[in-house]
Amino acid sequence: MSKSDLKWRLKFARAMVKKDDDFWKRDICFYLDGTSWVFKTNPCDQANSSHARIWRKRSEGLKMGCTSKGKKAGYGGKTVNFFVSISYSKGVISCEEYNHLTGQSFTEFVQKEFKAIFNRSNNPKGNLFLQDGDPRQNSKVVKDELARLKYNCFSIPARSPDINPIENLFHLVDLALREDAIKRKIIKETKNEFTDRIRRTLLDFPVNKVDAIIDSMPKRMKLIIQNGGERLKY
């Protein structure tokens, strides 16, 4: 992580600690991100295998002893992609599968889904949401459409997954899917069955656990300041 990244994260965190908790709980109507899961025909065997992790250098933004999720591409198998949204006191409020992500496809997603997602959030009359800096989700065509619809995206620093609490949800859902495969001894599964299992796991995820993740945001801002802007383990 560059010095400019650290400086921006520090500036961001210092501004955020001045806000009350309702900013994270209610002012931000929902948190959005796209994620992928790798389909395997034998999920029980996959769940019991060791899982590789990438050890990051301090210069890359994480201290020694901290790990980061790696790219799913190259792990073998097809991927299942979802756009997921969470909202305080509501839990997971949207879970939409997608095939390919481009600026145009995300614009269409905004047009089709955003009104319903805002209405399902804990602040239906609000217009603020949070997503990361993926260039396809922040392209000009997307920004123009958000402006037309009068929705506002709350920007967070680049390379800062620790500031989007939905990343924690994905980690917990990963664990739940593995535990489910082992518990139910799922040794054979089609891609459609896997997709349905992901969707059920997301939509059934406990609301109180989503709230606990979002409740941690003020503390995260203080820790970022204490750590000189360095990325937290999330």
Q: Is residue 167 part of a domain?
A: yes
Do the bridges between strand 79-87 and strand 30-38 make them parallel or antiparallel, or are there none, so unpaired? antiparallel
Q: Is residue 206 part of a domain?
A: yes
- Please tell me the pTM assigned to this model: 0.87
Q: Is residue 137 part of a domain?
A: yes
Residue whose structure tokens are 């082992």: 182
CA distances from 33 to 10, 146, 166 (A): 23, 16, 7
Q: In sequence order, which ranges of the chain are alpha helices (DSSP H)?
A: 3-16, 22, 43-48, 103-120, 140-149, 166-183, 191-203, 207-215, 217-226
Q: Is residue 164 part of a domain?
A: yes
Q: Is residue 166 part of a domain?
A: yes
Distance CA 90, CA 161 (A): 22
Q: What's the number of domains the chain is made of? A: 1
Q: Is residue 187 part of a domain?
A: no
Domain assignment of residue 212, given as a range: 3-39+49-177+194-226
Per-residue pLDDT tens for 175-225? 999 999 999 999 999 999 999 999 999 999 999 999 999 999 999 999 999
Give the Cβ contact number of residue 198 at 10 Å: 23
Q: Is residue 112 part of a domain?
A: yes
Distance CA 1, CA 25 (A): 29
Question: The tokens of 136 are what?
Answer: 């396809």
Per-residue pLDDT tens for 25-74? 999 999 999 999 999 888 898 888 765 444 444 444 444 334 344 444 44
Do the bridges between strand 152-154 and strand 67-68 make them parallel or antiparallel, or are there none, so unpaired? unpaired
Nearest CA among 18, 8, 63, 6 for reference residue 218: 18
Per-residue pLDDT tens for 127-174? 999 999 999 999 999 999 999 999 999 999 988 999 999 999 999 999
CATH of the domain at 29: 3.30.420.10
Q: Is residue 10 part of a domain?
A: yes
